[in-house]
Amino acid sequence: MDILLIEDETKLAQVTERFLRHHGYEVTLAMSIGQAKDALSKTTFDAVLVDVRLPDGDGWSLVPSIKAVAMPPVVFMMTSRGEADDRVFGLELGADDYLVKPVVLKELTIRLERALNQRPKDTAFRLGDLTLDPKARLVKNGEQSLSLAKMEFELLTYFVEHIGEALSRDQILDDVWGYTFGGDTRTVDTHVKQLRDKLPTIKQQLKTVHRVGYRLEAME
């Protein structure tokens, strides 16, 4: 699980990062809103831990955009401001939980695991005019329902689950078609072309990464 920790108190950030890594999480540390936005633009996270008071603004301002992406991460607010109005405000913005400093790190991991496990599975998402519902296996371009072949649908779902990530052709082939598949990476290119031909949003947002593979970009 990948976690973005947004915390400007150096000692607290280091202790929290070390504790989370010890419990098996991959942690990216950001110490300002600017660093957080940069990290969020490059990586898809499972959870974001947000300090409210940061040197270049307040963490609350990040929550709406973090939760507005196609597959939003779990968001925890962590702050010394424990008044009821502050907690309600954070939750109304879309935060999943609110922890008051000093945070008990064991409690943090317990709440984090619970929140991650409770995330809806196979939820529908939107990317521009594209709507994908993995559970119902439906794809729409605006109001128009589209028919995708089985592996086209699987590939589209895979790109969405890894939005913002540069994915190699070999990685895509292994993860979508499986290690025992006898084809080669040209299969990936063929299916990408088919998705681009059928879905205008994918044609616009699915970028070719030179000498690597592909990256599905979020809408700005």
pLDDT band at residue 82, thresholds of 50, 70 and 90? low
Domain boundaries along the sequence of the chain:
2-117, 125-216
Q: What is the pLDDT of residue 88?
A: 77
Q: Which residue reads 């990216």 in tokens? A: 28
Residue 114: how many other CB atoms lie within 10 Å: 12
Architecture in CATH of 2-117: 3-Layer(aba) Sandwich (3.40)
Summarised one tens digit per residue, pLDDT across range 162-195 is 888 899 999 999 888 876 677 788 999 999 999 9
Summarised one tens digit per residue, pLDDT across range 128-155 is 889 998 878 899 998 899 999 999 999 9
Contact call for residues 206 and 188 (beta carbons, < 8 A): no
Give pTM, 2 decimals: 0.58
The runs of H, that is alpha helices, within the chain are: 10-22, 33-42, 63-67, 84-93, 105-117, 150-161, 169-172, 186-198, 200-205
Q: Do domains 2-117 and 125-216 have the same CATH topology?
A: no
Using alpha carbons, select from 161, 164, 163, 189 the residue that is nearest to residue 175.
161
Residue 42 has pLDDT above 90, yes or no: no
Supply the CATH classification number for the domain 125-216: 1.10.10.10
For residue 31, what are the CA distances in angstroms to 3, 8, 28, 72?
14, 4, 10, 21
Q: What is the pLDDT of residue 71?
A: 67
Residue 20 has pLDDT above 80, yes or no: yes
**Phi-psi group of 57: left, alpha or beta (phi > 0 → left; psi -120 to 50 → alpha; rest → beta):** left
3-state SS, 111-175, equals HHHHHHHCCCCCCCEEECCEEEECCCCEEEECCEEECCCHHHHHHHHHHHHCCCCCEEHHHHHHH
How much is the mean pLDDT over the chain?
88
Strands 53-54 and 47-51: unpaired
Residue 90 has pLDDT above 80, yes or no: no
N residues, the chain: 220
Residue 69 has pLDDT above 80, yes or no: no
